[in-house]
Every structure is written in structure tokens, then in C-alpha cells.
Amino acid sequence: MAVSIWLRPERTGRGPSPAFDRGRIAAAGVALADADGLAAVTMRAVADSLGAAPASLYRYVATRDELLELMVDQVNGDVSYDGLGAGDWLEDLLALAREARERYRAHPWLLDGIEAKIPLGPRATDFLEHALAACAAASVEPGTAIEAVAVILALVGALTRAELGRRAIGLTDSERRQAKSEYAAQIVKAGDHPHVAAALASRAAEQATDPDAQFDRVVTRVLIGLLGGR
């Protein structure tokens, strides 16, 4: 029950051939989100833009969240991997970063979230003030300081998210997490994506290592790299 959409095969079998497929539905959703934001992606709107009835979508997608998952994956496909592996790794990663930036620029709704905008509430401003004061002590040019703080906050968010996600992959928490875990297992079994499989395996093994020490190490490295060595 509630298995991940990537493990469920696309339509095949006995009845009449389906009018659409996951790709077309995802594309319709992406078009709506690009035009009017994530909130405009309602089941009715997607169905309308496809010339179908709302209820029909549920033949392809179990829930709206799955539709969003389809949209994210669709957008993740707009990446060119040409010319990778020719130069050094730094160039490769920079190129991938640029690709990711293009993705976010073209589809800003990917960044939609509760902390999406630059945080500017009163207490957030307090935090920002202290962080910028520390940056000033590092004699960072003020123009890039606020960028640096944004990087730090995103970095912390990513590490925390990774930490929470690690538990999700390792342990069987809720059903939904277990579904994700099953898909990860299938990636490992499939054999393509060897690096991803290795990372997932080592991630499960590394579960015992101290995440706090790793956190400090990563943050320190990034800060030194970003703001200059001591």
C-alpha cells in the first residue's frame, strides 16, 4: 500500500489505451506552475488544460503530491550532461551547478517553501544582524556578506535535511519513507547509477558516525573556502 510512483509501472494491459501519460500530465503541471505559481497547479486546472475531467487524473496519479513529484522529475530532465568528464572535477561540478541554477531560474516554484523568500521578520533580522556582524569581522565585502549568510543558512538546511533524510533511508519510519527506501533499494539493484548506489550503501553503513562532528567539519570548510582562510 502507498508504494512510490516510480515503482509502479506506467499503464499497460487490457483496457482501452490511455489518453495521456505521466509525461504529458507533468508537462501540463509544469506549464501551469511556470505561468502562475505552484498554487495554480490544481487537479482541475491540470485536467482542464489537458481537456479531461478532474477525476481522470487519478488514473495516472494517486494524489496531488505525486503529481508534484512528477513535475519535479520532469524538470530534472532538462539538464545537459554533455562535455562532462573531459576537464577536471571542479569544472564538472561547476557546470552541474550552473545547470541546476538554470533549472531554478526557469522554474522558481522549485524553491517554494515556508522559508522561500529572504527571511525578513523581526527575529530573523536579529539573526541576520549577528551573522553579518561576524562577516564584517571577517572583513568580507558587505555586498557579498548577505549572500554568504544565505549560503550558510542554506548549507545548514541542507545538512540537517540530509541528516533527517539519512534516518529515513536507513530506518523504516513511516510508510511513505519506507516507499522511498524501497525505491532506493531498487536503484542499488538496477546497477546503473553505480555512484549513487555506493553513496546510498555507505550512507547506510556510516549511520553510526557522529553527525555533529561531521557538521562542524563541513561548515568550517565551507566558511573558510567562502570567506577566506584564517
Partner DNA sequence: GGCTACTGCGAACGACGATCGCAGTTATGG
Partner DNA sequence: CCATAACTGCGATCGTCGTTCGCAGTAGCC
Helix (H, G, I), strand (E, B) or coil at 215: helix
The C-alpha cell 552541474 sits at 96
Query: Cβ of residue 38: shortest distance to its own copies, in angstroms?
Result: 7
Query: Cβ of residue 56: shortest distance to DNA, in angstroms?
Result: 4
Q: Which is nearer to its own copies, 51 or 202 (CB)?
A: 202
Is position 4 an interface residue for DNA (rule: CB under 7 A)? Answer: no
| 189 binds, options its own copies, DNA, none, Cβ within 5 to 8 A by partner type | none
The rounded distance, in Å, linking the Cα atoms of 152 and 134 is: 12
Positions in 7-46 near DNA (CB under 7 A) = 11, 13-20, 41-45
Is position 178 an interface residue for DNA (rule: CB under 7 A)? Answer: no
The rounded distance, in Å, linking the Cα atoms of 45 and 34 is: 13
Number of residues that bind DNA (CB under 7 A): 25
The rounded distance, in Å, linking the Cα atoms of 207 and 200 is: 11
Residue 41 vs residues 6, 113, 156, 180: alpha-carbon distances, Å: 21, 15, 30, 24
Is position 49 an interface residue for DNA (rule: CB under 7 A)? Answer: no
Query: Cβ of residue 9: shortest distance to DNA, in angstroms?
Result: 9
Sequence letter at residue 14 = R
Binding site for DNA (CB under 7 A): 11, 13-20, 41-45, 52-56, 58-59, 62-65
